[in-house]
Each structure stands twice: as structure tokens, then as C-alpha cells.
Amino acid sequence: MKVLSKFKITKGFKTWLDMYKSIEPDLNDLGIKILWAGSNNDESMVYDVTEVENPEEAMKILTTREDITKKREEAGVILESTEIIDSIGNDYWGS
């Protein structure tokens, strides 16, 4: 299942992206794979399209698993701002 989600950041997109790349293998092992991510112009919000096996479990891991939450907090993620906007049933990726 694909979901569109968002969360607030305080240290800019590059800091978040560097952190994400460091935990990406762990997340992939847990069935969480970001397909696309981007920020708003002032780099205070990240939006992503993520493929997950179980969205509720993914949200729990991202907000409660200590090793992951520590890295996310250190990179400026406001954990309580994490929100699944909606699931994505159909999509198109331009050529």
C-alpha cells in the first residue's frame, strides 16, 4: 500500500535526507520504503510517498522505536507532527 504523509522538520531538508539515508536499510527491512520525498520552500515540512505493508505499524515504528526516533529527533523531525494524509489507490509517475 502507498500512503502520502507529512511531518514538520526544524533543521532543513538536507539534514533530514542525510538522516533518512542512514536509517533507510532498517526501514526497508521493516517494510517501509520511501518512493518520493520533498519539502516546502522554507524546508519546514516534508511530504513523502511511502510504500508500506502496514501503515499503522509503520507509523508506530517511526514514532516509538527508540533508535529510529532518536535519529529522527536529532535531525529535527517533530515526531508528533507526523500525519498520514491519505492512502494512494491509483497513481501515475510521469515519463
pLDDT 10s digits, 10-19: 999 999 999 9
Confidence of residue 77 (pLDDT cuts 50, 70, 90): very high
Q: Which domains does the chain have, with CATH numbers?
A: 2-88 (3.30.70.100)
Q: Listing from the earlier edge strand, what are the strands of the sheet with 45-52?
A: 32-39, 45-52, 2-9, 77-88
The pLDDT assigned to 67 comes to: 93
pTM equals 0.88
Q: Helix-strand-coil percent breakdown of the chain, rounded to 5? A: 40, 40, 25
Percent of the chain with pLDDT over 90: 78
Nearest 10 degrees: Cα torsion 17, 19, 21, 26: -140
The pLDDT assigned to 54 comes to: 82
Res. 30: pLDDT tops 90: no
